[in-house]
Structure 1
Amino acid sequence: MHDQNEYLYFLRRAFDGMLGVLEELGDDLGNTRPPLPGANSVYAITYHCAAVADYWTGHVVAGREVDRDRAAEFTATGRASDLRRQVDALYEQLAADLAPVTPASMPRNTPPADFEGPDRPLSVAGVQLHVLEELAQHHGQIQITRDLLKQGASS
């Protein structure tokens, strides 16, 4: 059995970083969109990242049914404490999803052709890299969003 602990460690770091910013901002500011065209709230971005990890790991890699409404992810609002509980439960689910995965494993499902993601077939390792890619870029986006919101709140 292939050990997924190192991969899960980096997922946890990214999620904890995003949730930490959300908790630092508080629920009001965490659900506020910065005044930029197409900008999203820290809550919505974090919520989107949870859905990304759930879909790509749970559905694509593990074959689990995942009900995902991608467009709704960007308008999601809520409390940081509730989202942390959801991410904690998701993290446990992802660990279970990845427990039987080996380097030779192939994804159990293929995303639809029009799905936003890599434009080539992916191995399990490729799917995992894509999830890390998404979480890393959105973690940085959240940090910049925090800075914009805090600047706006203090001016």
Structure 2
Amino acid sequence: MKPVIKSIANKYENHAANLIINIQQNEFGVPITLKDQPDLFDIQNFYYSGGGGFWGAFIDDELVGTIALVKFEDHKAAIRKMFVKKEFRGKEFSIAQKLLDTLLEYCRENQINDIYLGTVSILEAALRFYEKNNFVDIQKDVLPEKFPLMAPDNVFRHLTLK
């Protein structure tokens, strides 16, 4: 059961939305709804049209993880929608790492040098994961002006690729 990482678009939006909202609401109790995330129902326009992307991790044709990139300035982008189904987390599958590596490779190929993300403090494993991948804490008030802020986010990280 080796994960396959590939670009996904509108064809997978219901699968992605179900995976993401289940983790956000049911697993972590994050106060966010699908209505708060219209990007999930227009992946093509929201992520790809501006120079970003959206990737999925599949095991036996089942979507088990996602990661997305919103490009908001020439050389700056934000990670969004990084979620892995509970039973596929950890070193055995390394899905989160493979998703992040795919996104970072895309950034390098497309001269995106500054990567930002916002998350919530209760996602402690995610925070450790980003730290392990050299993301550093950044205060909300020094985020780039065009950073696409999500209401529940209260922790912010930054990675310089150059």
Classify the TM-score, shorter chain: under 0.3
More strand, by proportion: 2
Q: Over alpha carbons, which structure has the higher Rg?
A: 1
TM-score by length of 2: 0.27
Greater helix share, structure number: 1
